[in-house]
Structure 1
Amino acid sequence: MIRCAIIDDEPLSRDVLRQFISDHPDLILAGEYKDALESIPGIESNPVDLLLLDINLPKLSGINFYKSLTNKPLVIFTTAYPEFALDGFELNAVDYLMKPIPFDRFLQAIQKVKERLKTQQDSPEFIMLKVDKKLYRTAFEDILFFEAFGDYAKVYLESQVLIITSTMKKMEAELPKELFVRTHKSFIINTSKVEFIEGNQIKIAGKMIPIGMRYRENLLKQLN
């Protein structure tokens, strides 16, 4: 069962989502809140797998609330305002549902949640990277991108850069394909770190990374 929490200040929206959850055999409602601040004690004491989170909330927006969480469950953002979709994308949301939400669209989003959870269960959360004669246990979430460096590769992390004794081809084969994608013959990126795409470049952590023609279609497909 997937444990869900609804955070929405509109009673009608909560009613709809509550009914959708009740009608789905794989979902269970573990919490329901009318604003983000109200939800904090409940989520801390009763963790969930999935947040159905409205973006336009009083006091604290759904976007800022989700950013503030240390242990982030999966999230589906809900809103009546399409201009906020980019913010949800940057936070690696599973999906983004426009109100009023049709049940078939809700089902599609939950299928994505199930696939994401299965991937997390099946895949390790780290990789061992060889630097000189040492092996570094490196969490996937700490990796920004890889850059070719002759017969080696540079690994850009949140806090440092490692030069590893591995080729890009070997790294591409070892990395989880649902999280990492090749953008260029010299670059592999962590899709959860993407800030924006502009023309034939993609921005991660302030650096513009090229997008090669042969990689563009697969990159856009994976990001979507």
Structure 2
Amino acid sequence: MITCAIIDDEPLSRQVLRQFVTDHPDLSLKGEYKDALEALAGIEQNEVDLLLLDINMPKLSGINFYKSLSSKPLVIFTTAYPEFALDGFELNAVDYLMKPIAFDRFLKAIQKVKGRLKTSREIQDYILLKVDKKLYRTPFSDILYLEAFGDYAKVHLENQVLIITSTMKKMEAELPNELFIRTHKSYIINTSKVEFIEGNQVKIGSQMIPIGLRYREAVLEKMK
């Protein structure tokens, strides 16, 4: 799933985009904001893959808002003013949608997003993990397994444990599925770190990680 947020000061525009996102099987809406200032706190707490961002908004424009982000998701700019298009593309925007937005044009933009994400994930061999206000550049090869921890997740590395504000579902979507697999509702493992499987458990390092009944077939198939 591609997680996204809508930032637009027009209620009707937010309604249209919300429906488009709902109708798309690969999109998951994680936030909806009426202006850039309101979005700042929301994006900080709930990171997303994609912003559907209006350019012409009061207080802080979409362009300046995007420039201010330290960690920049992919962005599709939306606006009724074509003169802003150049500014948007200079920020490496995936696409630029003119209002009123047609659904078929929205679909084309999302295809570009999927292509951009696929390319970045093929090249990238690490993940950025946010701990407090720090971003840790963590190679996939350093991760042993992930463990659910209330509203957080524990990322177990060779020599330390990082506690991040994220759900297991979000982490499962962000990690490459050729290397990681969910073994249990509370665990995701790095398959290259598995020493052996015994009964309904896998051994990674000094830990025995449970395999849930619903995940067992997929895990065994993956480990062949």
Give the structure-1-normalised TM-score.
0.55
Unaligned 5+ segments in structure 1 are 127-224
Answer yes or no: is 1:107 the counterpart of 2:102: no
How far residue 125 of structure 1 moved from its aligned partner, in angstroms, is 7.4
**Which of structure 1's runs of 4+ aligned residues deviate more than 3 A?**
none
Unaligned 5+ segments in structure 2 are 127-224
Match of 1:31 in 2: 31
Letter in structure 2 aligned against 1:11 = P
1:18-167 correspondence runs (5 A): 18-124=18-124
Measured on the aligned residues, the alpha-carbon RMSD in Å equals 1.2
Summarize deviations over 1:144-203 as a string: whole Å, max 9, x none.
xxxxxxxxxxxxxxxxxxxxxxxxxxxxxxxxxxxxxxxxxxxxxxxxxxxxxxxxxxxx
For the residues of structure 1 that align with 2:7 and 2:124, how far apart are their CA atoms? 30
Letter in structure 1 aligned against 2:3 = R
Summarize deviations over 1:71-114 as a string: whole Å, max 9, x none.
00000000000000000010000000000000000000000000
Match of 1:218 in 2: none
Answer yes or no: is 1:5 the counterpart of 2:39: no
Size of the aligned set, in residue pairs, is: 126
Percent identity of paired positions between Structure 1 and Structure 2: 81
For the residues of structure 1 that align with 2:97 and 2:32, how far apart are their CA atoms? 18
Match of 2:155 in 1: none
Match of 1:139 in 2: none
For the residues of structure 2 that align with 1:40 and 1:62, how far apart are their CA atoms? 11
Summarize deviations over 1:2-25 as a string: whole Å, max 9, x none.
001000000000000000000000
Give the structure-2-normalised TM-score.
0.55
